[in-house]
Amino acid sequence: MKEILGLLKVDLSKVSADVLEGLRTKTMDLSYTNGMVHWATGSGRTGIVAHLPMIPVSPKELASAEQLLQVGKLVRGAQFASVAATATAAVVVVAVVVAATIYLTGKIDKVENAIAEVAHSIGQQDRREYLKYFEDYAGAVRSAQVMLNSRVPVSEISRMAELRLDRLSEARQQIFGFVRGLQSLYGSSQPNQAQYALAIGFMIEVLDLVPAALIVERELCLAAGMPGMAQRYREQVSREIRRELESFREWCDAQYRQLALGHGGFPDVLAENRDRLKALFGSSAHDILLSDPLAPFFATAASAAGPEEQASHERPANTMNRDKTA
């Protein structure tokens, strides 16, 4: 039976009980770039524990995998390198939601095109200069993606990963600041319709890119040998991204209210972007990327295991927990 190119799933039958328990209790951490399981910070150990065994997803399983593929817009035969786990029916599907050549590169291209359009519409030189932060961010994401996909040993890229991580983090803060600046500018003044349309399109593309790029940042933490920071990145930056998305939603709601009250606005622009805004605020992909990526893995692992095996995971005494407290 022909395999679906690039789409893999975890072979739960070959994952050891110790590894499952370590991931469940967070004494181990998973790298999506290469499927390696690391000892987590605080476990009392360091290094690589194991590689998760992967097997191809067959066409008969496409129905269960299709939702994730559609969400990620990955059904194009992309070559997948980085992996993210999500539960679909009774199988754990591991797909490249982040570092897929078409998925993430396509998003970066959209942001770069939006940057060029906004730059032409902004007259002040200082604002044009500020847009360079977006170019830096897109470039940093792209270069990090290439490095993570290179399959170079972690020992050889750890320092480069740390430098790229610093660059990404700084650029991300700058773009959030500029998005808030655009909201303030266009919320208090009346631009022309072309500028307004470009600004909304620009903010949509940027805020759609950042959740996917966050996983690249997390992978850089692991490549730099900082699994503890990888977990903090997921928790802290995920909250930050959700706040920015909510702030943009509130800004859009305010634009609709102003329009309804007859206080100006561009109804055609808002109508044209209604579907894009709905997709952004209701994105299942963002829920996957910003949540604990291992949670659905264990939900599925538990459903695949028999009652006796599930009960064994709930017993308080086990060697993994003793290792953690040793």
DSSP 4: P
Instruction: Tell me: pLDDT of 91 over 60.
Output: no
| pLDDT value at residue 129 | 55
DSSP 252-320: HHHHHHHHHTTS---HHHHHHTHHHHHHHHT-HHHHHHHS-TTHHHHHHHHHHS-HHHHHHHH-S--HH
Q: Which residue has the tokens 């790029």?
A: 213
Mean of pLDDT values over 3-9: 49
Instruction: Tell me: pLDDT of 312 over 60.
Output: no
| pLDDT value at residue 119 | 66
Start-to-end Cα distance in the chain: 48
Q: Bigger pLDDT: 79 or 227?
A: 227
- Tens digits of residue pLDDT in 169-226: 888 888 898 889 888 887 766 667 877 888 888 889 889 888 878 877 887 887 787 7
Label residue 250 by pLDDT band (50, 70, 90).
very high
| pLDDT value at residue 99 | 39
Three-class SS of residue 153?
Answer: coil
| pLDDT value at residue 50 | 84
Beta bridge partners of 37: 30, 50
Instruction: Tell me: pLDDT of 249 over 80.
Output: yes
Mean of pLDDT values over 104-113: 73
Instruction: Tell me: pLDDT of 311 over 80.
Output: no
> What's the sign of the alpha-carbon dihedral 315, 321, 325, 326?
positive
Least confident stretch, 23-37, 223-237, 247-261:
23-37
Distance CA 254, CA 260 (A): 10
Q: Bigger pLDDT: 136 or 272?
A: 272
Q: How far is CA 124 from CA 121, 133, 213, 224, in A?
A: 9, 16, 29, 39
| pLDDT value at residue 88 | 36
Distance CA 265, CA 187 (A): 10
Distance CA 180, CA 167 (A): 20
Residues contacting residue 166 through CB under 8 Å, at least 6 positions apart: none
| pLDDT value at residue 101 | 44
Q: Are the CB atoms for 313 and 303 separated by under 8 Å? A: no
Instruction: Tell me: pLDDT of 4 over 60.
Output: no
Q: How far is CA 280 from CA 36, 86, 189, 210, 269, in A?
A: 31, 20, 25, 12, 16
Mean of pLDDT values over 305-316: 39
Mean of pLDDT values over 313-326: 34
Dihedral pair phi/psi, residue 221, rounded to 5°: -60, -45
Q: How many CB atoms lie within 10 A of CB 244?
A: 20
Label residue 278 by pLDDT band (50, 70, 90).
very high
Q: Are the CB atoms for 94 and 22 separated by under 8 Å? A: no
Share of the chain above pLDDT 70, in %: 60
What six digits make up the tokens of 175?
């773009």
Of the candidates 195, 46, 22, 184, the residue with the CA atom closest to the CA atom of residue 120:
195
> Which long-range CB contacts under 8 A does 119-124 form with residues at least 24 apart?
121/194, 121/195, 121/198
